[in-house]
A and B are shown apart, each in its own frame.
Chain A
Amino acid sequence: GEDVEQSLFLSVREGDSSVINCTYTDSSSTYLYWYKQEPGAGLQLLTYIFSNMDMKQDQRLTVLLNKKDKHLSLRIADTQTGDSAIYFCAEKTSYDKVIFGPGTSLSVIP
């Protein structure tokens, strides 16, 4: 079945770049997403990439997609303390179902 995997924890110093990695299993996925969840809140869509793209940049966020290896990454440049949150990778499968990973908890050290 479909599965999305992420490392569970990442710790970086303020001002450094953060890279959160994700792997997925459905080679026919159409869209891949990154969501952010702060404590006690719902999921906030950060960015998404269509499966025929390799890269997407949006201000401090850069998404890289390696479709051959089914690997997705999110790079946050100049990481700030306000970026501390849980980041979820998700894929939209070929039959329109969105599968979420377990989330990566990002801690930013001042």
Chain B
Amino acid sequence: EAGVVQSPRYKIIEKKQPVAFWCNPISGHNTLYWYRQNLGQGPELLIRYENEEAVDDSQLPKDRFSAERLKGVDSTLKIQPAELGDSAVYLCASSSRQETQYFGPGTRLLVL
């Protein structure tokens, strides 16, 4: 069974540029999460989807971040415009059962 797929794996951009990350969850997983992991810290939830619906986006900085999961499968997270402080690893995870999440390899973003 394929795991959670994320692309790109690395991205370097200049500040004020837009950037987008893509995630394809494990087949059949209805719940999809986007996390941000700063250096030396644990992941912090940005947004959680149940199928197409964003059920928890309380930690998503909505002035510059947006996300979508139009068909309830893959998802895109966008930052526009990017700031220096957005440099981090962006992790996608999915789950089908309430108790377990499976993580993708992450996208490492560097904003210069």
Using a CB–CB distance below 8 Å, which chain A residues touch chain B?
4, 30-31, 35, 40-45, 48, 50, 88, 90, 92, 96-98, 100-103
Instruction: Report whether B101 and A100 are in contact in the complex, using a CB–CB cutoff of 8 Å.
Output: no
> Chain A: interface secondary structure?
strand
**Contact residues in B for A31 (Cβ distance below 8 Å):** 99
| Known A42-B106, A44-B103, A45-B102; contact A97-B42, beta-carbon cutoff 8 A | no
Bound-state CA distance A45–B41 (Å) is 17
Bound-state CA distance A88–B106 (Å) is 16
Instruction: Report whether A98 and B103 are in contact in the complex, using a CB–CB cutoff of 8 Å.
Output: no
B72 within 8 A of A: no
B85 within 8 A of A: no
**Contact residues in A for B104 (Cβ distance below 8 Å):** 42
Which residues B72-112 have CB closer than 8 A to chain A?
Answer: 91, 93, 98-106
Instruction: Report whether B91 and A42 are in contact in the complex, using a CB–CB cutoff of 8 Å.
Output: yes
Residue in chain A with minimal CB distance to B104: A42
**Contact residues in A for B91 (Cβ distance below 8 Å):** 42-43
Instruction: Report whether B42 and A45 are in contact in the complex, using a CB–CB cutoff of 8 Å.
Output: no
Bound-state CA distance A50–B97 (Å) is 13
Instruction: Report whether B42 and A4 are in contact in the complex, using a CB–CB cutoff of 8 Å.
Output: yes
Instruction: Report whether B56 and A97 are in contact in the complex, using a CB–CB cutoff of 8 Å.
Output: yes
Shortest Cβ distance from A42 into chain B, in angstroms? Answer: 4
Bound-state CA distance A97–B57 (Å) is 11
**Contact residues in B for A44 (Cβ distance below 8 Å):** 103
| Known A43-B91, A97-B45, A97-B56; contact A102-B40, beta-carbon cutoff 8 A | yes
| Known A43-B43, A43-B91; contact A98-B101, beta-carbon cutoff 8 A | yes
